[in-house]
Structures are given as C-alpha cells and as structure tokens.
Amino acid sequence: MVPTEIKLHRKSATLELTYARREPVVLSAEFLRVNSPSAEVRGHGRSQEVLQTGKRYVAIKHIESVGNYAIKINFDDGHDSGIYSWDYLLELGENEGSLWQDYLARLQQNGQTREPLPADTQVIQIKPVAD
C-alpha cells in the first residue's frame, strides 16, 4: 500500500503517513531509527543485528523519495543508509507495539539504555577473539 502523503513533524519528531483507505500511521524518529532496514542496523545475516542505543532524542533531518517505492530518511545522528520501502513502513506501523516492546526488552537484557551518552564520551566496542 502506497501512502498518499508523508508529513515530517519536526517539533514532535514524528513521520505521519496518510493512506487512501486506512487510518494514518504516525511513527517516531526514534522508532524509525532503531528499526532502520540498513545493513548497519540489521547486519548482513541472521543474528548480526546491531542493537541501537542512546537514540531517545534522535530527530529526522530530512526525507527524500527513492523512486516510486520508498523513502530515505536522514537522521541527525548521521545515519542515512536505510531505504524504507512502502511495505516496510506499513509493516512498522502495523507492528509498532510488539516491535517497540521487543526493542525495550533487548535494551534491558543487554544493560543498555535509550538515553544518549554525554557529548564528551567516546566508546570503543571490542569484540572478544575466539580461542
């Protein structure tokens, strides 16, 4: 299903998708960012997803059309590699509640948070080497 209109609400940091024969879908910037379809977030295969942390206050800088099938969202944290197809956006809207609860549970299981780190903090991720 293709939206007839997309509105970026900067103040509320939401994206509103209007459809001809259904209620509008409103998705937060944070929800869209942590569910980006990019390889940077989803990985390149099963169980390679990268948990997105500290995205509570992320905003959408701008959106652009990708042909007649998708949009590209540019976030203020520099992330801009996800292509959100019409089908994927509708799937996000229809499953927002369960996807959000799953995300919150994964944060908790990993001892992580939605809160961003202070600007003067640098983090280096080190993956253990298998023996």
DSSP codes of every residue in 37-82:
-SHHHH-SSTT------S-TT--EEEEEEETTTEEEEEETTS----
Question: What's the rounded Cα separation, in Å, for the pair 110 and 99?
Answer: 17
Q: What's the whole-number average pLDDT of the chain?
A: 92
Q: Render pLDDT for 31-66 as a digit per residue (tens, 0 to 9).
A: 999 999 998 898 887 778 899 999 999 999 999 999
Q: Which domains does the chain have, with CATH numbers?
A: 5-109 (3.30.2020.30)
The residue count of the chain comes to 131
Confidence of residue 131 (pLDDT cuts 50, 70, 90): low
Which helix (H) or strand (E) segment holds residue 108: the answer is helix 96-109
The one-letter amino acid at 59: A
What Å distances lie between residue 62 and 29, 85, 116, CA to CA?
A: 11, 16, 21
- For residue 21 the two structure tokens come to 């024969």
Q: Render pLDDT for 51-110 as a digit per residue (tens, 0 to 9).
A: 999 999 999 999 999 999 999 999 999 999 989 999 999 999 999 999 999 999 999 999
What Å distances lie between residue 95 and 44, 92, 115, CA to CA?
A: 23, 5, 23
Instruction: Determine if residue 99 is left, alpha or beta; phi over 0 gives left, psi from -120 to 50 gives alpha, anything else beta.
Output: alpha
